[in-house]
Amino acid sequence: MKKINIQYLNPFGAGILCGSLPNDLLKNFENLSKEVLKKKITEWNPHLVGRIQDEWKIPDLLYKDYKVDTFLDGAFYKYVESYYYNFKKIYNLSIRYPQEQVDNHDFRIVIKRGDGWVNSMKEGEYNPVHHHTNCDLSSIFYLDDYQGDKPRDFKRSDTNKDGVSDLGGVTEFLIGSYMNGVIPQKTSTGMTVGTGFPQLTHFNVKPKKGDFMIFPSWLMHAVYPFIGKERRVSISINATYQMNTHNDKILKHSIKSSDL
């Protein structure tokens, strides 16, 4: 398996780990989803808020059968590690331990996978704004980049070369209710003017086959419907984590601090 390129983004405080699956691992996820959708053992849409008919739980044994279990545990681990590394850098501005104490990951992380399910969306189906419960982390794995056969919003002109709207099947992440700061304005020359720096409260993610995202379970998100005859398949998997920070001076200090 090739090395997986990932990056930890902070669009608005809630960190999101983004990556792209190598072809062999993507194929494993695709085969896993095909088996789940073929056998349809446990219907999962009664447990979810999505207006999607075909949502089926992934049996735990299939993660190992299709050789994605080690990757999943490692990806969730990487999210937690990245989050706390950033946290240590920020908190260390007040206590000023040597840099090697920041770089040393003297903490233990234990990941436990929770429920996972396959979404097979058809025309008109959608996920309303929601968050995930009974877990610490959530994830989305895009197994295709289908956005429909024609634009979902006929008022929009931002279609791609195939005439597909950028909103159909798009995942939107949200936090807060309005954009803070001054929103720069476009001028006739294409420049922007304004004072202050805008802060994101929401942003859209256009589905791309093989991409995945891991984020806090409390982060609100939604998926828009599309117009088209094909299916759009994705996988969502939750996880929890536990940490032992006893040997990490910065985290041990920060967790006991009254500032938190």
pLDDT given for residue 165 in this prediction: 47
Give yes or no for a contact between 221 and 181, defined as CB atoms under 8 angstroms apart: no
Q: What b/e readout covers 68-106, taking b as 16+ CB neighbours within 10 angstroms?
A: beebbbebbebbbbbbbeeebeebbeeeeeeeebeeeee
| 1-15, 85-99, 141-155, 214-228: segment of lowest average pLDDT | 1-15
- pLDDT score of 169: 85
- 3-class DSSP state of 26: helix
The full 3-state SS of 203-227, as one line of letters, equals: EEECCCCCEEEEEECCCEEEECCCE
Confidence band, pLDDT 50/70/90 cuts, at residue 251: confident
Domains of the chain with CATH codes: 6-148+207-253 (2.60.120.620)
Provide φ and ψ at 45, rounded to 5°.
Answer: -65, -25
Check whether 129 has a pLDDT greater than 90: yes
**72-107 pLDDT per residue, tens:** 999 999 999 999 888 888 888 888 989 998 888 888
Tokens for 114, please give them. 């929770």
Q: Average pLDDT of 111-121?
A: 97
Point out the least confidently predicted range of 84-88, 161-165, 199-203, 213-217. Answer: 161-165
Establish how many alpha carbons lie within 13 A of residue 47's alpha carbon, considering only the half-sphere containing its beta carbon.
14
pTM: 0.87
Instruction: Give mean pLDDT, residues 165-189.
Output: 71
- CA distance readout (Å), 199 to 13, 129, 175: 10, 20, 11
CA atoms within 13 A on the CB side of 61: 2
